[in-house]
Amino acid sequence: MDQAAVFELVRKYNSRSTPTLVIGEEILQGFDPDEIERALAG
């Protein structure tokens, strides 16, 4: 619904999927609890 947010997601993070999480320098696409925990721990 928010076209500006979609544009930023595609342009800045090269992603068309949700969720797209940015943790530090890492970009996670999709929901994977183990990967999220790993990224937050590191």
- CB distance 27 to 34 below 8 Å: no
* Sign, Cα dihedral of 31, 35, 41, 5: negative
Is pTM beyond 0.85? Reply is: no
Residue 18: the pLDDT is: 87
Q: What is the pLDDT of residues 1-42, one digit of tens each?
A: 899 988 988 999 999 888 999 999 999 999 999 999 999 998
Question: What SS3 state is found at 38?
Answer: helix
Cα–Cα distances in angstroms (integers) from residue 39 to residues 3, 11, 15, 21, 26, in the given order: 28, 22, 18, 10, 7
Residue 13: the pLDDT is: 92
HSE at residue 2, side-chain half, CA atoms within 13 A, is 6
